[in-house]
Amino acid sequence: MSSPTPQATSLSSDPIPSKPFGDAAISVEPGLGEKDMVINFGPQHPAMHGTLRLILRLNGEKVSGAEPDMGFLHTGFEKLGEYRTYNQYIVVTDRMNYFSAMANNTGFACAVEEMLGIECPPRAAAIRVLMCELSRISDHILGIGLQGMDMGAFTPMLWSFIEREKIYDVFELTSGGRLTTSYTRVGGLAFDLPDGVEYRVRTFLDRLDDTVRDMEGMLARNRIFMDRTVGVGVLTRDEAIAYGMSGPLARASGVDRDLRRDRPYLGYEQYDFDVPVFTDGCVYSRYQQRLAEIRESAKICRQVLDSMPSGPINALGAKATLPSKDDVYTKMESLIQHFMLTMPGHGIKTPESGEIYHATESPNGELGWYLISDGTAVPYRVRVRPPSLFAFQSILPMIKGRLVSDVVATMSSLNVIAGELDR
């Protein structure tokens, strides 16, 4: 090997070593760019929010094939559901979609109530609607913020975190938990609203309008943001239906369906709100969709606060919820009540062979619960229909033939939550 040592073109007269990186240097094979290349995108990639993995087949920088891989966060929630009572399982539902735990709590409690054939009292329903809409705002505003961040706009993400903190303060005040709330119970709620929640929510909503306007001003006509998102990751209406998409992702593709309007639950039919629909189905219309839904959710929140009914918060009566720990330690009746609710063989009476599929409109889409009861206080089968599962499997038609940077834009617009995806 007597190749001439290349001479530096700089002023320095030191020769460049023939192997500047030692053995770690990559040898460029002839014909490397002509073949397809398979790369891992995730599960530990900064642009993958959560433990998601895509195996991409690239031709140059163009995506010619992709396979979504999942299961890194699989926790066996469905199996666990067969060993926990209905009220115990509400704690597990928090962990599925940790962006909007309140919506998951509510969805599961509604499904069990539908199976038992009971309805929660009007006050409990109104509080649940308020909490669901707040968590929808928090989920969507963070989704937009992260979408902006992935396109290189860092400021909207910080604004969205400020708003989310305020929502979490409200959650902390009502349920004691910020992220994992476990606020609902079968038949109603764990606690009534404390004083000060209405004031906090109202001041938050007044400030929210400004933030949403600021975020829109920052992104909506932003040249960089539009170049990266308009016409990228397109999913047509037919594809969205065939892939089982629901919620904001389907509505951004022109599917005019919202369970709050079409199958009203919890008294959603009482409130005035519009269902925004966009037809382009690209990343940009998903951003527009989320922004429009934040405004509608704020409208619903205001109406709920204006018309908050009074009355009990649990249809099964005070005996259906756990008494406070102080009472358990000092009062005989509360101790018995606690015992009756937690011991195996006691608890909620369920139908002998009941089965129900009940879906609610969670921030990500149709969150369905398929429950089978066998007459005991423990479900026989719990099946979650997570919206993220159907969003994640439809990634291929959106990114095929696009560049790798478009994969980042598309993934962040889907807002796939790994906890809900893998369960």
Partner 1 sequence: MTQLPLADMGKIFQERRERAAESKARRVERERRLADAVCAWLGKDLVKRAAFRDQQTIYVPAARAHETLAHCKNALGFDQLTDCTAYDTLKLEGEHPERFVVVWTLTNLGQEAMLRIKAYLNEDEPVLPTATDLWVGADFPEREVYDMFGIEFEGHYNLKRLLMPESYVGYPLRKDYPLRGRGERDNFPVVPRTRKASYE
Smallest separation (angstroms) from partner 1 to the CB of 309: 9
Smallest separation (angstroms) from partner 1 to the CB of 196: 21
Give one DSSP letter per residue of 30-92, joined into a string.
TTGGGS-EEEEE-SS-TTSSSS-EEEEEEETTEEEEEEEE--TT---HHHHHTTS-HHHHHHH
Smallest separation (angstroms) from partner 1 to the CB of 38: 16
Residue 133: how many other CB atoms lie within 10 Å? 29
14 or 272: CB nearest partner 1: 272
Smallest separation (angstroms) from partner 1 to the CB of 354: 6
How many helices (H) and strands (E) the chain has is answered by 17, 8
Residues ≥6 apart with Cβ < 8 Å to 286: 147, 248, 249, 252, 278, 413, 414
Cβ atoms of 255 and 240 closer than 8 Å: yes
Residues ≥6 apart with Cβ < 8 Å to 72: 43, 51, 52, 53, 418, 422
232 or 421: CB nearest partner 1: 421
Smallest separation (angstroms) from partner 1 to the CB of 83: 5
Smallest separation (angstroms) from partner 1 to the CB of 396: 9
18 or 353: CB nearest partner 1: 353
Measured in degrees and rounded to the nearest 5, phi and psi for residue 24 equal -75, -10
140 or 358: CB nearest partner 1: 358
177 or 264: CB nearest partner 1: 264
359 or 411: CB nearest partner 1: 359
By DSSP bridging, strand 53-59 and strand 62-69 are antiparallel
Q: Which of left, alpha, beta for 60 (phi over 0: left; psi -120 to 50: alpha)?
A: left
Show the tokens assigned to 8. 């530096």
What angle do helix axes 404-414 and 122-150 make, rounded to 10 degrees? 170
227 or 374: CB nearest partner 1: 374
By DSSP bridging, strand 184-185 and strand 53-59 are unpaired
Smallest separation (angstroms) from partner 1 to the CB of 106: 18
| Cα(347)–Cα(344) distance, integer angstroms | 8
Smallest separation (angstroms) from partner 1 to the CB of 231: 22
- Can you tell me which residue has the tokens 């807002």? 415
Smallest separation (angstroms) from partner 1 to the CB of 224: 33
Task: Identify residue 414 by its one-letter amino acid code.
Answer: L
- Measured at the CA of 216, the angle between CA 215 and CA 220, to 5 degrees, comes to 125
Show the tokens assigned to 6. 């290349």
Binding site for partner 1 (CB under 8 A): 67, 70-71, 74, 76, 78-80, 82-83, 114-115, 117, 239, 241-245, 255, 257, 262-264, 267, 269-270, 272, 299, 302-303, 306-307, 351-357, 359, 366, 368, 370, 372, 374-375, 380-381, 383, 385, 389-390, 392-394, 422-423
156 or 387: CB nearest partner 1: 387
Closest CA to 379 of 368, 387, 370: 370
280 or 422: CB nearest partner 1: 422
180 or 270: CB nearest partner 1: 270
Smallest separation (angstroms) from partner 1 to the CB of 241: 5
